[in-house]
Structure 1
């Protein structure tokens, strides 16, 4: 749509937008953390969505249409219309007027016409514009608007990228747009409480309309339609004309009081952003980042008020006709105050050099050697850090000044470039000198890229991605988001240069001049962002400690990723064969139980077998009203029926085979025979690491088949695998944080804490605790850490709610310190909006004061558990850093090859096994001194399974 003609009308279903914004965004407030200040989430979401839409769908005319207050003609036609709709939440209602105001200030025409719905106004404007030969784009997720679609009117759903043109509507619903009102009359609309023909669903409606051609023709042939559904149709004949009127969108509303110039439409031409008034609005509602970005955009426009084309720089790409999902827009939450610490001055213009001669290179190398800090960025051939090679390198030493060295651009007519090998040889002394501080954005990736060329970069002092992760964990940490959020700067995106999807080109095919601007901009913005974020960290001792831990962890993780883990491909092949045989056997057994063949991967066919043929009870339904066959339902049904159990086993084994036994060997690097996972460091809000390509943290361990996968993680001849694991780490952290005397005593005395808990809540001697009582206590111990309710505990133990409630009460009677900790933590989280780990990592809880009950409850549970999870994450990172430092200091050959949850995995030469057995547990236990002793245990074996 970026090439759309200027004579385009863009219509936004504002009522749909504001509900989506309200439910998708967290409980933002004008004063962050103050639940008494005005809610702003829907306002902020609305601004995000409209900014993105304006960028992605250029149009000369634009209107944002909202439902007006009061009844409409449909309520007079059918008093029960929308009778089941819940009233608008108060926190959304209070944001309606500010939303209307800001939409107008952004240059949009706003309409809310009494007596009709927003859909009717949209229909009227769309039909009027289309009749004049204009293209019309309607942005809405409402399927009812599909009836408006023509060759000139297209609907786009900005939340999922769906496009409903004539072909799209026909494919989605089975009928063309001009039959959609007949289709809706037959099917009905449960959301708006419009009855249809009982038992007539989408398939039957589409079948009838394709057979007879229209609703009128169906009515004329009603006597010939057989069966119960035909009887239902005949019983509904009197209602259908009314039903069709209710679902039909008007295209002839009288809008003369609001748009007197129709059909000329000049009054809905896109207007200029009213930057002065917008700045005041943004400040009023606490949108400081938007206010700064607005000021920067206005400056670039040389003072002009017309900055309607202001576009955001984003870390992610988007389809030309779609708008990024709101969940990806959450980088625009209330921004932290700008740093009050002196920072490098901002510049209004930039100087970017392209280095094509040795003289220019030597001049810049002298700058690098003299600089106190250098921002460094690589442009490469791949996002896979183990396979990527350098195309170019950029540097920045002063805000607004940067240089790019193109080294491997290979398109026709590319300018002569300095030789890659010679440039790297001249840069190597500086790159490998730790006394020259360096800065990057996601430096672990750049370390790998240089290592692919034989260079081990030293001296990475800062990483802006990690600075953001420590300061503002709930926001995106991509450079584009950081630059816009903190600097009000936007720039070139990767997709602008290389395109998307199948047509995306490699960076070595990008024009050197464009590549230079892009790469220099990245280095320049990285330096600029650092000057903003670092002072915030520097003045907070606890956050600075966490940041320094993340920097050191990045270095250790680079080593772990680089080492990789050796994979035994023949073992995996044998496991795949065994799994395939068992999967086929399960299919045969399932077919026998069902009495017929069916696709075990098809929820639809499973549903037909379960609920139509076998009459199994419906446990729950999908959002569309169909009986659900998800894993939770299967697990419930498997308690009483054999077929669901077979399907569950089939699903588990199929996933294991497809994800691991078939794939792991393919993911191994051919040159090493090793799998080199990527550890995402700035993802989980608790500080835990995320493993991907492949995900080594999700290998199932509760089934024999899952555990067998670990047999394929092996050591080379002369070495073994060692696994070092913290014991009951989160329970120990709970004892430390809560200070509960009974828990502290249990750990100090080396008791079995689950047996000790069972003895307390069942009021028996520890020696008399049964295995079943210990199992109950274990579920309670871990469940309460995660904020489990009585209902959740009852479900987990298979007991009634009253018994579960009694167990919890007894637990808190015996461990009052735990109860007090939970109560105090909830209160603290509500007051300040975050909780902290033992070491000071902040774990933000945007929903802790949400008016939405389930969201607020979820945040309260997270507030209790996050300090445990987060402290455990901090401890394993401290251990990883410490162990690697000692390995390096003692020049040992032992390699750290994986970090999985609370476990470190090593590849150990046989001569160093004793050192690992004795020293690694001491190192892990000694990284912190809590109120209870930390305990780490080491296992050794020929493979990961035997070692764990």
Structure 2
């Protein structure tokens, strides 16, 4: 018997059939020199190599199998003649790649299994059961949710496409039920992919609820007569079918594999073999995989002298070079205008059978909460699309299908979570369809977010993505609708041209995804950020925006009145100081008063040579002169009044009575979200007047506002990244980190630190995070540069780990051109290599700060995912209503307050394990300000 501390041997099982299709649709249309399709081959080879390295390791030994579906019927077809009946036939380009895929997988040393009469799932289930019983830790690599039923203490699922790992707890977190209830869960909801009906109108939430209440499918069936509503009626109608459904979704784990595996059931028969390098070299030559061939030639010492490069951002096969754009010169384009129900039904069949379909809406407004549909387009392959016009109303427009009828037809596909969809800025289309009562599910990809993760420093419009990655340029909105005052609404656009425009939007989105996603997937960190952070957060942001936040217009009106009175007082004071009235909003008149009439010193000049009156100059002058101080205060109050207290009541949506901000997800290169229309993240909170604006953000009756924010998150990240013992110890012991810093810098004890010393230390701590030098610190503290330099030198002497981090980060950024967050997000810094002195210095400061700011952005997004997931799983009515920097704001029913107060900070603190504890603090009140 092995020692309890000895790790179990691993049996790695790959669901080859699952990955065949995913590789085929994820990769661009790659071809060998003689024109043979190779995209699926390429994707499978890359995955199999990566899996073997990551799970088994590069040394000898290990057990594995790659399992494929055999052609022909299986026993389930005999049980149910409609099993998988709706599936489209395998594309010819994929079918021709199957034999080469089997060949190359064997050359890579993998046992290949294909058993006629049973599905790959059943072979995997049998192998997993036998392997676990033989003392192996079984890892199944798949994208198939059905296999979650196999998970136990010895069996884990991984999904290389989404970087997801599912153990028992992971299955519960994802599906809401334990692995031993997955069969019951699937039976209730059905499996649209395999054409196995469930209970009509019963989705995951209802299935989880029923199983929690009644324990099992048998318990649900026994209680059917007591379940009310339409769902209960549908359950009773399905009672005769459910045993057959359960039989169909159950993975068989006792198949006879003896005819296909020598020595079965001994797991030793599945031993991985050494890579057949000579055979692989010939294979790579035949199918045109140049980079992999050169690597092997270098290893074998054949061919010319080859320098093998490290895979980079644009690397799909290890070359380090950007792949060529697909040749679209011969791409046949066919865009159909759908004007009758039969053609719409035909397209619905194609959408339901498609492994991935692109979707786009054309609307009458850019406001996502108010936009109404003018037309809908979709595509299932590049070059081909359909446009369904529903509200074009120009003279002579052809008859169109009614919008309600179109949505009723498309609803089953739109709301099917198992129907994979891709879009460009899916948050907007989700809102638009929600305006019409459709809850879109099944979003798998968003090209906006793929671009944002891959190339955050560039623009992410579909127009720019198509130019960059496809070499294509389609019709622009201005081409159709014109510009400025002459711009017409989309409903007035000729339907034929609208079909071209919208069809391009959908099919170019699909093609951009096929080119861009492999580039994201080639870098594990980027894939993780995309799949585990940005995509889930996008859907949560849509929910936050849609819920909105309640504001008290009366409170804002009162504040506007008070601000106006204070501004009048400031104007009168300014006039008295100046000796005459003048326009406090005119830079020219301010300059004349300050520098000509009062003779104040000129600090800097504008490009035209006039004395500058910008905020920096006025701040400097305000330290010594009263008038600049009055002007600054007047400016800040005018901005507060114009931007918030006057404007917010006008932005209340009359249909909801709430303010609905828009969270821009793909703007800041660090990953931070930005808020606009209105901007809820820039409310000035350093002044009492600014803080009072938050009093207008209120909870409805029976609710409270809860604010939960991370404490000193960027300093904690600095402690973790730098590994500095002093900072780490301060956080680990729960000390006031600024006092602890002051004690080190001023060589005293923590208890003896004065408030002034703490203020200095706090400025140093936060200043260094942002790359502040002696000049900036001197200005912030109001001291001379020599003293500031002395403080910095003493700080670095005590916190050498911070200094080391800063030096190493700048050097690494200069070498790579980017920095990374702890979770793999890349922040490009073009100026760090090619910029001039000031720009390069700015890029170096950004290099120091960006990993911390970016990691903080990743953490708050992970917190949003964790908290929303827990709220949904617990069936809570609490709503997340705002995200502001490191803070989440909730609208909480009174009876859920104890749960939120306990669970939310724990969930936020638990999203990552750093070397110092994460701490989230909660405040509660009737409004946002009092919750702080």
Q: Deviations over 1:658-692 (max 9, x none)?
A: 00000001011011111100000000000000100
- The residue aligned with 2:467 is 484
Q: Given the superposition, is the C-alpha separation of residues 506 and 817 from structure 1 closer, same or farther in structure 2, using an over 3 Å criterion?
A: same
- The residue aligned with 2:507 is 524
**Equivalent residues in 2 for 1:762-911 (5 A)?**
762-911=746-895
Asked if residue 633 in structure 1 is aligned to residue 617 in structure 2, the reply is: yes
Check whether the contact 1:787–1:864 (CA below 8 A) recurs between aligned residues: yes
- The residue aligned with 1:661 is 645
Distance 2:888 2:871 in 1: 14
Q: 2:391 aligns with which of 408, 411, 422?
A: 408
Distance 1:827 1:539 in 2: 25
Asked if residue 697 in structure 1 is aligned to residue 681 in structure 2, the reply is: yes
**Equivalent residues in 2 for 1:42-441 (5 A)?**
337-339=321-323, 347-441=330-424
Deviation at 1:377, TM superposition (A): 0.3
Does the residue aligned with 1:505 lie in a helix, a strand or coil?
coil
Asked if residue 716 in structure 1 is aligned to residue 700 in structure 2, the reply is: yes
- The residue aligned with 1:102 is none
- The residue aligned with 2:492 is 509
Check whether the contact 1:738–1:821 (CA below 8 A) recurs between aligned residues: yes
- The residue aligned with 1:258 is none
Q: Deviations over 1:37-62 (max 9, x none)?
A: xxxxxxxxxxxxxxxxxxxxxxxxxx
Check whether the contact 1:718–1:909 (CA below 8 A) recurs between aligned residues: yes
Distance 1:744 1:734 in 2: 9
Check whether the contact 1:345–1:399 (CA below 8 A) recurs between aligned residues: no
- The residue aligned with 1:80 is none
Distance 1:497 1:808 in 2: 59
- The residue aligned with 2:452 is 469
Check whether the contact 1:347–1:400 (CA below 8 A) recurs between aligned residues: no
Q: 2:725 aligns with which of 741, 746, 753?
A: 741
Q: 2:606 aligns with which of 608, 611, 622?
A: 622
**Number of positions where the alignment pairs a residue of Structure 1 with one of Structure 2:** 613
Q: Which runs of 5+ in 2 are unaligned?
A: 1-318
Deviation at 1:539, TM superposition (A): 2.4
Distance 2:695 2:589 in 1: 36
Check whether the contact 1:566–1:674 (CA below 8 A) recurs between aligned residues: yes
Distance 1:347 1:396 in 2: 18
Deviation at 1:585, TM superposition (A): 1.0
Distance 1:346 1:540 in 2: 30
Distance 1:794 1:346 in 2: 60
Q: 1:550 aligns with which of 527, 534, 542?
A: 534
Deviation at 1:850, TM superposition (A): 2.4
Distance 1:632 1:336 in 2: 46
Deviation at 1:889, TM superposition (A): 1.0
Distance 1:503 1:340 in 2: 40
Distance 1:826 1:346 in 2: 44
Q: Deviations over 1:576-632 (max 9, x none)?
A: 000011111111110011000100000100111111111011111111110011111
Q: Given the superposition, is the C-alpha separation of residues 791 and 649 from structure 1 closer, same or farther in structure 2, using an over 3 Å criterion?
A: same
Check whether the contact 1:722–1:939 (CA below 8 A) recurs between aligned residues: yes
Q: 1:584 aligns with which of 568, 578, 601?
A: 568
Q: Given the superposition, is the C-alpha separation of residues 336 and 530 from structure 1 closer, same or farther in structure 2, using an over 3 Å criterion?
A: farther
Check whether the contact 2:905–2:921 (CA below 8 A) recurs between aligned residues: yes
Distance 1:893 1:711 in 2: 23
**Superposition RMSD on alpha carbons, in Å?**
1.4
Check whether the contact 1:339–1:532 (CA below 8 A) recurs between aligned residues: no
- After TM superposition, the score normalised by the length of structure 1 is 0.64
- The residue aligned with 2:709 is 725
Deviation at 1:338, TM superposition (A): 4.3
Does the residue aligned with 1:848 lie in a helix, a strand or coil?
helix
Does the residue aligned with 2:437 lie in a helix, a strand or coil?
coil
Distance 1:365 1:432 in 2: 13
Asked if residue 445 in structure 1 is aligned to residue 445 in structure 2, the reply is: no
Distance 2:449 2:769 in 1: 28
Distance 1:543 1:635 in 2: 42
Distance 1:564 1:882 in 2: 20
Check whether the contact 1:638–1:644 (CA below 8 A) recurs between aligned residues: yes
- The residue aligned with 2:559 is 575
Does the residue aligned with 1:629 lie in a helix, a strand or coil?
coil
Does the residue aligned with 1:439 lie in a helix, a strand or coil?
strand
- The residue aligned with 1:311 is none
Does the residue aligned with 1:394 lie in a helix, a strand or coil?
strand
Q: 1:931 aligns with which of 905, 915, 921?
A: 915
Distance 1:347 1:569 in 2: 59
- The residue aligned with 1:611 is 595
- The residue aligned with 1:674 is 658
Q: Given the superposition, is the C-alpha separation of residues 913 and 336 from structure 1 closer, same or farther in structure 2, using an over 3 Å criterion?
A: farther
Distance 2:446 2:320 in 1: 19
- The residue aligned with 1:267 is none
Q: 1:642 aligns with which of 626, 631, 645?
A: 626
Does the residue aligned with 2:834 lie in a helix, a strand or coil?
coil
- The residue aligned with 2:302 is none
Distance 2:419 2:323 in 1: 26
Distance 1:691 1:704 in 2: 22
- The residue aligned with 1:87 is none
- The residue aligned with 1:79 is none
Deviation at 1:478, TM superposition (A): 0.4
**Equivalent residues in 2 for 1:754-769 (5 A)?**
754-769=738-753
Check whether the contact 2:345–2:409 (CA below 8 A) recurs between aligned residues: no
Does the residue aligned with 1:705 lie in a helix, a strand or coil?
helix
Check whether the contact 1:377–1:440 (CA below 8 A) recurs between aligned residues: yes
- The residue aligned with 2:173 is none
Q: Deviations over 1:885-904 (max 9, x none)?
A: 11111110000000000000
Check whether the contact 2:328–2:472 (CA below 8 A) recurs between aligned residues: no
Q: Deviations over 1:751-802 (max 9, x none)?
A: 0000000000001111000000000000000000100010100000000000
Check whether the contact 1:347–1:399 (CA below 8 A) recurs between aligned residues: no
- The residue aligned with 2:523 is 540
- The residue aligned with 1:22 is none
Does the residue aligned with 2:451 lie in a helix, a strand or coil?
helix
Distance 1:767 1:647 in 2: 41
Deviation at 1:348, TM superposition (A): 2.0
Check whether the contact 1:898–1:906 (CA below 8 A) recurs between aligned residues: yes
Check whether the contact 1:576–1:662 (CA below 8 A) recurs between aligned residues: yes
Deviation at 1:336, TM superposition (A): 9.1
Q: 2:577 aligns with which of 578, 589, 593?
A: 593
